[in-house]
Chain A
Amino acid sequence: MTKPLFRGLLIAAFFALVAAVLIPVYVPRPAFIPGFAPPPDMWPRLVALIGTALGLLAIIQAFLGRGVPDESPIKTDGAALATMVLRALGAAAAFAGFVLAVPLAGFPIAAMALTGLCILLTGERGHVLWALAISILGPLLLLAFFQQALGTQFPKGLLTTAIGI
């Protein structure tokens, strides 16, 4: 399957899903609507239908090979596709891990871990001291700034509170 065809299918499927499944379930219509005012589902439904039509148009364009935008190659380090997929999954897992870690380890420690992990994931191995400084001192400095200057209270973790941090 070519990229333009895949893209068209994805766009059409997404908007069709919204129009056919999500709007009927997640956009309730109130019993009484004043005057001739359009109901709450009118606008999202209209946008979703237009989106579906655009997706179908993209599919037709892909089949005909007309009007398809220039797909310039993306610059990479030459790694295999499977490796890049693994890296993308690693980044998504790091983000999900951060959200899950905040209630346990607290915001600053989870932020330290996420920053350090992201630096490692970018392939950075040459500036170890800078990487450590950004990962550890960065969150501490930002914590101090936001707490002292702006009065923001960041979430504390169950585990860190238990051990008295």
Chain B
Amino acid sequence: MMNDILIALQAVATLENLLIMVAGIWGGVIIGAIPGMTGTMAVTLALPFTFYMAPVPSILLLVALYKGSTYGGSVSAILIKTPGTASAACTALDGYPLAQQGKAGKALNMALYSSVTGDFISNLSLIFLAAPLAMLALHVGPPEYFMLMLFALTTVAGVSGNSLLLGLVSAAMGLLLATAGEDMYGSFRFAFTDDMQAGLSVAPVLIGLFALPELIKMIVMRAAPDKETAKLGDQKVSRAEFLSSLKSILRGSSIGVIMGAIPGIGPSAAAFFSYGEAQRSSKNGKNFGKGELEGIAASESANNGACGATMIPLLALGVPGDVITGVMLGAFMIQGLTPGPLLFQTNMHEIYMLFIGMLFSSVLLFGAGKLTMRMFSYVAHIPQTLLTPTVLLLCLFGIYSISSSMFDVTVLLVMGCVGFAMFLLNIPAAPFLIAFILGPMIEENLRRAMALSRGEPGILLSSPITWVFAALIVFVVALTVRREIQKSKDRKALIS
């Protein structure tokens, strides 16, 4: 094993790989710092470029973008009270008041230290937990996989947007779209044109759904951008300040790891939970929301702590926990690697390379954050009216280059319009995407299970593992419905 790790270390520690990771981290930090640009966009825009790269560097690029953008989201949250990513929303609560007090540099430094610590702990958890989980997963069959994926889909539908019903509608749309093309018996389903006989590719659907609606929103709504700004300042975080926040950082990292490893939860929920927990238990709890460094530490350690952990279900079970890992699943498949338990048997070298690369990226995140801190105040002010059309341009060229297909470009533009319509109707896009990616696997496992049982649907509840997942599905649905009823009651009380 030690020999394998050393070989993998040698393979990762090349100038090319390091440059790819530096570019990924740096690009991610910058994209995350721009309001309106998300980590999902960063990862999806980079996807076409990974077609021309070796498997491990391509995944490392996407992981670096993910981590960089998660940290970058805190920059605009602190400087202009506009979280670059949803997971940085809590950071704005204390970061912006600190910036108003002329302590933006101190807030950014604390965000960076907490992010790097959370990220490192998260990577270690991935290394130690993914392999045992994968070995366990080897003993499950099609019914168990079907129930597991159904659970992941229900969770994503439940936590995306503000309605379980609309989340499930979105997932059903994604599942339906995934059936287009040739099925396992050679039947062409929904092949309206010759191009559709091969089905729809992941990249144009995904990029269209997530990147283009922002441009259409900009064209149709023309909402005025936030003009507020703050100077960076140059204050450093003292040792005493860091140590007083260390407990919150470690607790936030653990919360991030646990919540990141559960499919569908992800960094945003982890950040909110960690912030609330830190506020409850800290002796400075009453200062939270007024410019408390510990608040930033709790939020940032949790959202970056979830980054590596979201890779645990992806690598071990082949189940993406959120949109970004959904994109990564697509990238793995494009590279001929299928995440899941077998990956740990057939591609152990690539797994070790990935683990080592992720540890490297924690160090690079620290360097990139420090080096680019000063330019952030400029980056965060690029006009959206110029930025979003540039994103469209990148999408057009990137998507065409994947398979030299104008059909893919048309799918990209159509999915952009679909994404905008979903936004108008309050239907969340994340369950659509996860369902579109998982759809073929869900269907295949269901059909295999039904074939094994000679058409008896009872096989889907035939083992203890399937019972556990069925119980979890019921639990998630009940919890989400309860939360929605409570929110509805609160709303009515507020109105009355």
Q: Which residues of B contact A38 (CB under 8 A)?
A: 446-447, 450-451, 455
CB neighbours (8 Å) of A22 from chain B are 190
Is B378 an interface position by the 8 A CB rule? Answer: no
Beta-carbon contact of A36 and B172 below 8 Å = no
- Are B187 and A37 interface neighbours, CB within 8 A? no
- Secondary structure at the B interface, as helix, strand, loop or mixed, is helix
A37-B451, A38-B447, A155-B406 known; A54 vs B487 contact (CB < 8 Å)? no
Partner of B417, one of A58, A95, A138: A95
Check if B221 is an interface residue, CB within 8 A of chain A: yes
**CB-based contact A77/B224 at 8 Å:** yes
Question: Is B163 touching A69 in the complex (CB atoms < 8 A)?
Answer: yes
Interface members, chain A 94-110 (any B CB < 8 Å)? 95, 98-99, 102, 107
What is the size category of the interface that chain B forms with chain A?
35 or more
Q: Do A66 and B450 touch (CB < 8 A)?
A: no
Partner pick for B221 among A57, A84, A126, CB 8 A cutoff: A84
Chain A nearest CB from B39 CB (Å) reads 22
* Interface 0/1 of A139-159, CB less than 8 Å to B: 100110010001011110000
Contact of A153 among B173, B404, B416, B487 (CB under 8 A): B404
A48 at the interface (CB under 8 A from B): yes
Within residues 2 to 57 of chain A, which ones have a CB less than 8 A from any CB in chain B? Answer: 3, 7, 10-11, 15, 18, 22, 26-30, 33, 35-38, 40-44, 47-48, 50-51, 54-55, 57
Select A119's contact among B163, B389, B443, beta carbons within 8 Å: B389
In the complex, number of A-B residue pairs with CB atoms less than 8 Å apart? 198
Residues of B within 8 A of A26 (CB): 189-192
B400 within 8 A of A: yes
Chain B residues with CB below 8 A from A122, complex form: 215, 218-219, 222, 384-385, 388-389
B454 interface residue per 8 A CB criterion: yes
Chain A residues closer than 8 Å to B476, beta-carbon distance: none
From residue B447, how far is it (CB to closest CB) to chain A in Å?
A: 5
User: Bound state CA distance, A69 and B355, in angstroms?
Assistant: 41
A-B contact pairs, 23 of them (CB 8 A): A15-B172, A15-B176, A26-B189, A26-B190, A29-B187, A30-B187, A37-B451, A43-B447, A50-B172, A66-B488, A67-B481, A67-B488, A79-B222, A92-B417, A115-B392, A119-B389, A121-B219, A122-B219, A123-B385, A135-B389, A139-B397, A150-B52, A153-B404
A interface residue numbers (CB < 8 A to B): 3, 7, 10-11, 15, 18, 22, 26-30, 33, 35-38, 40-44, 47-48, 50-51, 54-55, 57-58, 61, 66-71, 74-77, 79, 84, 87-88, 90-92, 95, 98-99, 102, 107, 111, 114-115, 118-119, 121-124, 126-127, 130-131, 134-135, 138-139, 142-143, 146, 150, 152-155
